[in-house]
Amino acid sequence: MNERSILVVAHAHRGDTVRAAYRVVTALRAAGATPVLATEDRHELTSADPFFEDVAVLGADVPVDAIELAIVLGGDGTILRAAELVRDGTAPILGINMGHVGFLAEIERDDMDAAVARVIDRDYSVEERMALAVRVKDTDGRVVYSTWALNEATVEKASRERMIEVVVEIDGRPLTSFGCDGMVVSTPTGATAYNFSAGGPVIWPGVEAIAVVPLSAHALFARPLVVAPGAPVAIELLDRTDGNAMLWCDGRRSHDLPRGARVVVRRSSRPVRLARLHPSVFTDRLVRKFHLPVSGWRGADS
């Protein structure tokens, strides 16, 4: 059997995360697997505990396409970083929530040891989540930047005191133009993130759709939209925009947008893969994560 390489993604900012990483690395080694850390993580963890000094490094020691699975110790931000780390491979991501809401995480920290045992036994399923392909074009139509997003791509004003003027295009046709603080283009996975905070709809993960949500728009028609996944969404910065804007993807990757820039967002051909240990109903996840009141429910119809 080929040697198994498991990526462990964790920041060393909290003592409980360092201790959790120690337990995971120890369990993987005991099972004959090779634990792997990103360069930044190994540096931070080694600063907290020399135990991590000889852990293999992603890229330098183990290529990303050799990673079998990524175990993530943290909240949604750490899971998004893990998705970035394994983007060039096929490894699914298993999130163990060490933070607060942890909407993308599969389990809580109390179940960590059992989760690692199931990873070792390959006792998990894989769920594919739609991602976004994002391109920025200049006024001559040349692609000057390209990236991707799991949660959302946002076009935002760069200066607090300025707003941006945009025209929104859906499926190759202009829809409307207005001044605003920005635009959020979200996947169903990101529907409970920035999209949710901006007043966008909650979209069940099984629904293939893209949400388009204006931020503080100065317009009569500036409602959140839900469009088909095959419909490209384009946001153009009009010449009358007073100042520059920024493109952000998942809050991690950014690019400056001058006047006239065109941001095209469409469904990516490559999904993000999440490891699942238990079959779950998204309704239950919403209730649990947001502490929604359900008292008085008499039970579902048989």
| Annotated binding-site positions | 76-77, 81, 151-152, 162, 181, 192-197
Cα separation, 217 vs 213, in Å, equals 10
- Please report, in range form, the residues annotated as the binding site for NAD(+): 76-77, 81, 151-152, 162, 181, 192-197
Pick the closest to residue 82 from 128, 37, 135 (CA basis).
Answer: 37
For residue 213, give Cα distances in angstroms to 4, 81, 164, 169, 268. 42, 24, 15, 13, 19
- Residue 218 near residue 178 (C-beta atoms within 8 A): yes
How many beta carbons lie within 10 A of that of residue 179, not counting itself? 20
Estimate the share of the chain in helix, then strand, then coil, as percent rounded to the nearest 5: 25, 35, 40
Asked if 27 and 119 touch (Cβ cutoff 8 Å), the reply is: no
Under 8 Å between Cβ of 21 and 45: yes
Paired sense of beta strands 125-129 and 272-276, if any: antiparallel
Give the type of residue at 54: D
> Side-chain half-sphere of 269: how many Cα atoms within 13 Å?
1
**Which is catalytic among the residues 41, 49, 54, 76?**
76
State the SS3 of 116-179: HHHHHCCCCEEEEECCEEEEEECCCCCEEEEEEECCEEEEEECCCCCCEEEEEEECCEEEEEEE
Active site residue 138: no
Residue of 94, 225, 106, 234 whose CA lies nearest to 168: 234
Residues with a known catalytic role = 76
